[in-house]
Amino acid sequence: MKMITKELANNFFHAPSWQEKLIVCEKVVERQRSFSWQKWEFGFHVLSNPDMIQKMSAENLLRLIFLIIEKDKDDRSFFNRLDEVGVLSNIFQTLIDSGESVQQKSANLIDPNFDFRSDTPPNKDPDAFSKTLKLYHKELWSKKLPNGQMLNLSDEKKGSYLFFTDGTVDLNLTSDCITHTYRNTAKMKGVILCVSPKEIDAFFSACFAIGGYTLFPGGQRAGVQTINQARGCNLKIVDRFDLTLECIRRQYLGISNPLENTLKGYWDFFELFCDFRGYVDFFLLNDLVDEEFQRVKFHIPFDDEFPSRPFPKTVDEYLHYMNNTLTFIHLRTERMLNFSRSLSFDTRQFRT
């Protein structure tokens, strides 16, 4: 372990009282940089769901100890309560056992239950900072394209997330979360307040499974926003991926759509897949279209127009949107898992 010695971990387990354990944890904290632990929502989520501890990165496990010690200064029984239910023992045991990796080892690459916040620094975006997410993207999408080329993705080009070139096309492909709960959207406040916080939290956490992510070309091009930017800023899309996919479908058919200018600006990427069916098949998006690839299965009813601000407008509509989104994440994650089982991955990639 880089940041904590086995001696400190062993001292924790041999400490005769919670006060002695507290001293050990304070020594761990002394070796770390401070961070905004009060804003680390995922850290508090893990403490309420300690079964997630074993999948956290070593760095985040140490930050979890930091959070606990700092929180105990405000709530003097906080440390003791967590110690009594075994949370601290779980953290230290996981650190000891994780000499090579804290990620669950598996015969397959894809862990369908892995939450990418687990190895993302506090208050950062997994799209940019999760090493596991990048690994999953690289292995899932480095495969033959519909046009016969191989999409060989490299993570070694400086300044790029995953880089692809075929000699004529240079693409920096970046990760994008394709689900949205709208839990912090001002326009949705009235609806969100009518849904139980437990349901909202479960929905939010589910969005961090691999089925909720894809790749789009990044890097600003002259005259257009990136696809990630356009999806979020366009008032006729409001970051909904079902509507984004409908725009992509129409663009392949030459039909006008709200993302037309942006999609044209990155059309060299979409040309790699030949047509809409090729794009859907490649990125395992089949559960969001019909069997003929003629129609997108929208999360909430769509009347063939693109109205402004197409948020779910009622509680019932939001619950419908939530359930359809969760179903899509689950089914697509299963597709990814089945695909990964068909490949022979070197499990050494799990080591950090």
Query: Could you tell me the residue ranges of all domains in the chain?
Result: 6-97, 116-350
Q: What is the pLDDT of residue 235?
A: 97
**Per-residue confidence at 349, pLDDT binned at 50, 70, 90?**
very low
Query: What is the rounded average pLDDT of the residues 160-167?
Result: 95
Say whether pLDDT at 106 is over 60. no
**Tokens 């090493």 belong to residue:** 131
pTM for the model:
0.92
**Mean pLDDT score of the chain, rounded to an integer?**
92
Helix (H, G, I), strand (E, B) or coil at 287: helix
Percent of residues in the chain assigned helix, strand, coil, to nearest 5: 55, 5, 40
Say whether pLDDT at 309 is over 60. yes
Cite the DSSP H helix spans in the chain: 6-14, 18-30, 41-48, 58-74, 78-84, 87-97, 126-129, 131-141, 189-192, 197-206, 227-233, 241-252, 260-265, 267-270, 276-282, 315-341
Q: Label residue 168 exposed, middle or buried (CB < 10 Å: 0-12, 13-18, 19+).
A: exposed
Say whether pLDDT at 266 is over 60. yes
With beta carbons less than 8 A apart as the criterion, state whether 283 and 307 touch. no
Query: What is the rounded average pLDDT of the residues 211-232?
Result: 94
Question: Strand pairing of 213-217 and 162-165?
Answer: unpaired
Q: What is the pLDDT of residue 6?
A: 76
Q: What is the pLDDT of residue 344?
A: 53
Of 167-171, 180-184, 265-269, 329-333, the one with minimum mean pLDDT is 167-171
**Per-residue confidence at 2, pLDDT binned at 50, 70, 90?**
low
Q: What's the CA gap between 157 and 70, in Å, rounded?
A: 39
**Per-residue confidence at 102, pLDDT binned at 50, 70, 90?**
very low
Query: What is the rounded average pLDDT of the residues 127-143?
Result: 96
